[in-house]
Structure 1
């Protein structure tokens, strides 16, 4: 029988944080390597941008069914399988000279991410004593801002110096090392106990009967709760706006004559995102509404600067700083808002947020590619501004439910940031 330690098992939690880092960096790395990857594979940059889209589709389409199918697996075994999936997918990406094969590898990486995100937060919680579970999740989720602030700029720099294939090869090496780290330091935990066929049939019949009595499925029941729909709408549109710009940031900068500075620009964005995460973490309990409004406004100001003054490198750096300050805490804000609004249906609400988040990332890659082909990269900040108008209107209007002001929130637990760019996910 597994015992939960009295203290935080830091080596194990840091291994899980590195797993989060690998998943987040694999997802966002093409953003800094897009021009080189498209040239080498003989496709346009808009087509190469779909490598982010296909990854998000792999995660969104398979996370829930795979999570259900592997619910009985022991957690360590499942995590090792997911990390092995990353090692294989990044190896194929590094050596592939064929665009369809590269896209297939990216889809496999997305499937591996779906497996990982379905268990990481819950795994961290089960490794820690009850009074330290929130801190354990926070430690594990630091892999996301580290991937944004250090991983993507470092990967971009390495790609510029020795080639993008070397960067993905390094990701493979990191995944292999991580497999050994997990095997040695991470305690195992059982999956969900499987019920016998008769008990399982009775349980499902009871669930169906309960749903018939209430007249709604869990999803419809959750959507009917005040505040849930506004938060989900904001999530969908805000992530779409961010992904349109972030996926093609290397292309955007290249058209401005700043292609050689992509790694530095991403470093500035990541550092600002880290600061934003810290600010949100300190003030979110009392200022959820104000912080969400400020986040949206900062992103809008950044897009405005990029739209009208992008010819100035100083203006670009200022805009990217504002963008990072606006975006960094957004996953925490949205996850917390939907958890508060969901109440007893918080798990369903969180699952819906994860699905919409990845759908928005997939959509952002597609929309950005269409804009690039038809209107050019200069259309990106203008499209962001168009998308942020309804976001700001919904946040401002959802005062009673969704994004309440100080003193109006329910007394629920504060969620922890996940995503990446990538995105927010639950364990």
Structure 2
């Protein structure tokens, strides 16, 4: 949906600087999207008690959100391809405000789940356009850096937002946490309206049909890597507390995740600094770092210091992955197919997150929590093979325009 991708915006053309007020607004949109998805994880006991359901049933608030995103990202992206980007982003953020408001006041479990589904739909809209929007606000040589700034919202949400939301939920009640998310979304709507430049949607005559995007060279390798890499990550991340409990570190889950989150922030900075020149090398490093972390957890999980080292390596490898994969699929899609490819990436990402929970549950039932790191290593083998082999398209040695 980028009819003018190769042209710098009026803001950035003279100096080549990033339009930080606009990009930080998009990063805040990513923060809202990620935190709205994961916030229930830290509030499950209070939510289940208040809604009179089991914690397992309350936990479906995360699943329903992911299902809403996975089911609607592709059709909604196709239906809104011609919309101006600012209008579409404002619509998505308004959807978050409504959904979080309903969640905060609802006393009905079905109504709460419906609100969570609507939030997932809003996330599908947002995720499918944010990376492309960021790229269209800057000159071509700054595309990757702009996406890195925007994607910083993910590790900030995971490392700071979720603990803060959990603390507020415990101190003031879980409904207050969701109400504050509404306040953030409303403020963000005003921020976007005032400071984010508008760009057009894609002209109908130049638009690649949604389901033809995989035919564009390079798109399929990136989508495959996304599906399997996210699946590998989620198998371990979704059950990290269970794994740590199994190896005698059940009381250290918060510290392990803090190390992971801090390393993820470092990863975002490193990726942002180098992605416009070294996307392929950084992607290979990302996979290898996560693999090294899994290997440490597989072999030395009984050594607490090495578990923390593994968490740091995991964060360094994973933190920049959303930026790397979204940039790779946008590069592969080109002017006509990038947003269609982004919508597919969003769908596969959420399918992999849901699948990771299922696969992890199966592994836990058949084997033991110690099987998680070995499953990650197994899944990373084809990921590494595809990234290595996609030298011409997908993860090229040289990025066009960089």
Give TM class, smaller chain: 0.7 to 0.9
Given the two structures, how large is their TM-score scaled by the length of structure 2?
0.78
> Displacement of 1:351 after TM fit?
4.1
Asked if structure 1 preserves the Cα contact closer than 8 Å seen for 2:85 and 2:201, the reply is no
Matched, 1:143 2:153: yes
> Displacement of 1:238 after TM fit?
0.7
Greater Rg over alpha carbons, structure: 1
> Displacement of 1:282 after TM fit?
3.6
Per the alignment, residue 213 of structure 1 pairs with: none
Matched, 1:67 2:114: no
Match of 2:293 among 280, 284, 302: 302
Structure-to-structure mapping, 1:206-221, within 5 angstroms: 218-219=212-213, 221=215
| Secondary structure of 1:29's aligned partner | helix
Deviation per CA, 1:284-320, whole angstroms, max 9, x where unpaired?
A: 4555444333322321232233344445543332221
Deviation per CA, 1:216-240, whole angstroms, max 9, x where unpaired?
A: x724522xx3x54333222211111
Match of 2:379 among 380, 387, 390: 387
Distance 1:97-1:72 versus aligned 2 partners, 3 A rule: same
Counterpart CA distance in 1 for 2:161 and 2:301 is: 25
Per the alignment, residue 317 of structure 2 pairs with: 326
Distance 1:177-1:275 versus aligned 2 partners, 3 A rule: same
Match of 1:21 among 24, 27, 31: 31
Q: CA RMSD in A?
A: 3.9
Asked if structure 2 preserves the Cα contact closer than 8 Å seen for 1:67 and 1:118, the reply is yes
Distance 1:350-1:160 versus aligned 2 partners, 3 A rule: same
Per the alignment, residue 52 of structure 1 pairs with: 62
Q: Which runs of no fewer than 5 residues in structure 2 stay unpaired?
A: 1-8
Q: Which runs of no fewer than 5 residues in structure 1 stay unpaired?
A: 195-199, 209-216, 415-427
Matched, 1:189 2:198: yes
Matched, 1:357 2:383: no
Distance 1:170-1:291 versus aligned 2 partners, 3 A rule: same
Distance 1:103-1:308 versus aligned 2 partners, 3 A rule: farther
Distance 1:92-1:244 versus aligned 2 partners, 3 A rule: farther
Counterpart CA distance in 2 for 1:251 and 1:23 is: 26
Deviation per CA, 1:318-364, whole angstroms, max 9, x where unpaired?
A: 22111101111222333344455556775254443333222212322
Given the two structures, how large is their TM-score scaled by the length of structure 1?
0.74
> Displacement of 1:111 after TM fit?
0.6
Counterpart CA distance in 1 for 2:276 and 2:184 is: 36
> Displacement of 1:52 after TM fit?
3.2
Structure-to-structure mapping, 1:70-109, within 5 angstroms: 70-71=80-81, 73-96=83-106, 98-109=108-119
Per the alignment, residue 6 of structure 2 pairs with: none
| Secondary structure of 2:400's aligned partner | coil
Counterpart CA distance in 1 for 2:297 and 2:44 is: 20
Counterpart CA distance in 2 for 1:163 and 1:233 is: 41
Per the alignment, residue 180 of structure 2 pairs with: 170
Counterpart CA distance in 1 for 2:305 and 2:173 is: 28
Matched residues, number: 388
Asked if structure 1 preserves the Cα contact closer than 8 Å seen for 2:69 and 2:122, the reply is yes
Asked if structure 1 preserves the Cα contact closer than 8 Å seen for 2:226 and 2:345, the reply is yes
